[in-house]
Structure 1
Amino acid sequence: MKKMMLLILSSLVVLVAAGCGKKEDYKPVAINEGVDRCEVCNMLIEDDHNATQLILKDGKPLKFDDLGDLFVWTKEHGLDEVGQRFVRDYHSLEWLKLEEAYYVYDKTFQTPMAFGVYSFKDKASAEKFIEEQGKGTLMSASELDSHSWEPNMDMMKGHGHDHEGHGNGQSEGSEESHGSDNSHGDGHKDGLGDSHGDGAEPSHGDSHNNEGAKDEHKEGTEHSDPSDHGEHKEDAVLKKDNEHSEK
């Protein structure tokens, strides 16, 4: 009986130990292009070789548009709640466990946030890429932790990632633009006020004076015309009488 109990207890201990030692099998999730945004920079993520992700221990995926942003996130939050990190093979886009891949860095390599690191499924692929490009530094997964992870600021500005400067420029430009519109509006208003106030009223009075002058001239003409006709008529009569008497 005691042997049976010992056997049962031993089996339980083995099962518990096996259960504790078993690692969760985390799986990468698909990138939903046009919807998924990077956890660090909030940029939309393209479904390409630069996309990376990590799966938290509670099963929640966090996605990044650049391997550098994944390391920015883990530097701030640590790895205690991280179940697995994934990168993609540069050529096939196959998802790889971060610790199993190899990496090539050069500051001129174009990545979304200008960190310049590409990932490869094996060392041979990474070395061949360096040979083809004529540049690049080979790194293992363990070397990523000591990498500086400094983005190439010149490339970021060239790709329009200088959000702060661009935003300020837009804001200032908009304010100046609206200010100019307002001043233009005030000037336009003043101009209308002057034309209606200074120019319109005198011209209106002048038109009345002109009309009055026309009326007076007309009346004068009407009064003078009958007398003129009368004088001409008398002259004609006298002329006829003289002619008649001479005959």
Structure 2
Amino acid sequence: MTSPSFETAKPDQISYLDRLAASDLGRSYKQRMLDELAVRAGQTVLDLGCGPGTDLGALAEATTATGAVLGFDRDQAMVDAARARTADQPVVDVRLGDIHNLALPDQSADRARTDRVLQHVTDPGLALAEIRRVLRPGGRLVMGEPDWETLTVDHPDGALTHAYTRHVADEVVRNAGIGRQLARLATGAGFAVPAVIPLTSVFRDVRVADQVLGLERTTRRAVTAGYFTEEAAERWLAHLTQGPFLAAVTFYLVVAEA
């Protein structure tokens, strides 16, 4: 089942996040999120699920030395990495914390962002209500999430593509349909939602797609879970490396206002 086109070892989470952020795809959507966030000098900005601090520097630059950037992550290794990377930026404060229960006063922040975080949390609705609590009136939240049920990979056997997508949506990602649910959930948490921006991520290089999707690793998990037979998995992966490749998934960028 292994092909030279596919990674066989899962990258550690920090390396994966860094690689995605440095890709054309990552740079493009992250800049769009920053533009929509519209941070102004002197504001207090929250990066919820900040990971290794990838976006904290850009937020610090936008709010200037007169503002404050608070990064939260539930993983101590991520917090440690983010603190090390922002040690020379006094406006940045990185904290260990849970997005469902932020250790912040009511109405204490002007801006907040979540980037591919809500697909993993236990209760997205509760997390959004907590963000609403800590934002000041007129504050803005920008969220970016994929809708994994829109994932499609071109293959002559459409049933295999369907099985692959169903496995990802059912077994791999906790909240696989969160992208299309964001506007409804944010409205339910008390936000106004002035903008929903769909961005289609298109992959035409199988190696680039594999770095984001983990094609072979995910296929192996699908075999174990009963979505593919071994023979079907062999046919699926063989075609992906032999012919013209195309995969796509819809990424939703949602702007919400308190």
Q: Quick check: TM above 0.5?
A: no
Specify which structure has the higher proportion of helix. 1
Highest relative contact order (Cα 8 Å, sep 6+), 1 or 2? 2
Specify which structure has the higher proportion of strand. 2
Structure-1-length-normalised TM-score: 0.22
